[in-house]
Amino acid sequence: MQLSIKNKIKSTLNTVSKIGFFHLFSANIILQIVGFGIQIFLTRILSVDDIGRIKVMQSFIGIATIIAGLGVNTAILKLCSEDIDDNQKKKLFINGIKFNFITSMIVLTICIICSFTKIYSSDNIINVALRYYSIIIPFNVLNDLGIVYLQSQKKIKDMSRVQIITKVISVLFIILFSILFSLSGFIFAYVLTGIISFIIFLFLFKDELKEFLKIPITKKYIKNIYNIGKYAFATNSIGQILAFVDVLFMNYLIKDNSAIGFFGTAQLIITGLMIIPTTFNQIIVPYVSGNCKSKNKVIKIYNGYYKKMISLMFAVIFISFFVIPIFIPIIFGSKYVNSISYFRILLVGLFFWSISATRGIILLGIGQVKYNFYVSLVTACFNIAFNYVLILKFGASGAAYGTVLGFFVGNIVSKKIFHKAINNKYI
């Protein structure tokens, strides 16, 4: 029996590779390498304070983008992965675009208004820069919809190509404009890349968008999107808060842009390592959705991925702990040796995040997104409490410890809620 299950898991993974897993994995590696290249370049021409400012601004933009999206991207991924006709998928996609355009413009307006106050930061450079940086919000939201729609249709290669093209364009613009205009040039290049990505998607989806004006926002489709999106929005919002709570607390509590810059560099490397679990998760959703009526099939898929994830992340973290710190001062500069201690602490948090994320993606695939919200909510509460207390006591190091403790608790909660969700789904 065990051999049979093992063979089926191997068969599933082989199928996944054939439909584009390695293509996507290679693309993600390229994206991460390019992303690292940009950050390395920026550390050579911008001050540590400016690197810290960028991290703070990206935190606010990330949260604003999630709020503007209202979970529509997750709903589109789930609904358009299901076995429905192409016309229904097109109507869902277009309804999502129209709805998100309205919500993103509202959020953009609020963000610009807030930039004229000191809500964001006591650093006026950040406040002024965010007036222009916020323009990226509607483009981020709509581009995300394009990515998840391609993913839902299993067009992994198309999705990868678009991401690589836009990233290469981004590199060229960021290098050019950062050299010419420093921090302001970086922001201009980032916004310009978002606009170009949006134009690429317009051409890519020209067939789907032919009837854009004829297809109205329909209560039926918005209701379907809302039923999934409401939990996804809450979950994603909390997820973004979890991702940026450390930086935001440092922004308000210690007000040291250089410390944020060092911590942000450590986070950047951790984000690069997340390519491994994230790539698996990008692939698995359509296949879980396609088998969501069978509890046994879902459990088999989960067990296969979960065991491989644990083994893989143990190896990745062990090697990274000893090898990557050697290269940090070489690649980023000697002053970034201060990032090493943060990096090693955050590696532990990466492990807990990775195995918890596998459960979350399975729950998304079977439509039990409300349970992901419960996990995120509990994790966020602990994470916020840990970060606040530990940052006050230990500064930036406290942010790293707080993040690890938060994800440790989140993993325990995730395990308990996951099994409850599976049992409730297949009563």
What tokens were used for 336?
Answer: 């970034």
pLDDT truncated to tens, each residue of the chain (427 aa)?
445 545 554 554 454 455 455 555 666 666 667 676 777 788 888 888 898 899 899 989 999 999 999 889 888 888 887 778 878 888 888 898 999 999 999 999 999 999 998 889 888 999 999 999 999 999 999 998 988 888 887 777 777 788 888 888 888 898 899 999 999 999 999 999 999 999 988 888 887 788 788 888 888 888 888 888 887 788 778 777 777 888 889 988 887 888 888 998 898 889 888 887 887 776 766 666 666 667 777 788 788 778 878 888 899 999 999 999 999 998 888 888 999 999 999 999 999 999 888 888 888 777 777 888 888 888 888 999 999 999 999 988 999 999 999 999 999 999 999 888 888 877 6
Q: Amino acid identity of 198?
A: F
Model-level pTM? Answer: 0.71
CB 193 within 8 A of CB 186: no
Q: Which parts of 254-294 fold into alpha helices (H)?
A: 257-273, 275-290
Query: Rounded distance, CA 374 to CA 106, Å?
Result: 27
Query: Rounded distance, CA 190 to CA 185, Å?
Result: 9
CB 276 within 8 A of CB 309: no
Q: Using alpha carbons only, how large is the chain's radius of gyration in Å? A: 21
The separation between the first and the last C-alpha atoms of the chain, rounded to the nearest angstrom, is 24
Vertex 300, ends 297 and 301: CA angle to 5°?
85
What tokens were used for 376?
Answer: 């995120």
Query: Rounded distance, CA 110 to CA 116, Å?
Result: 10
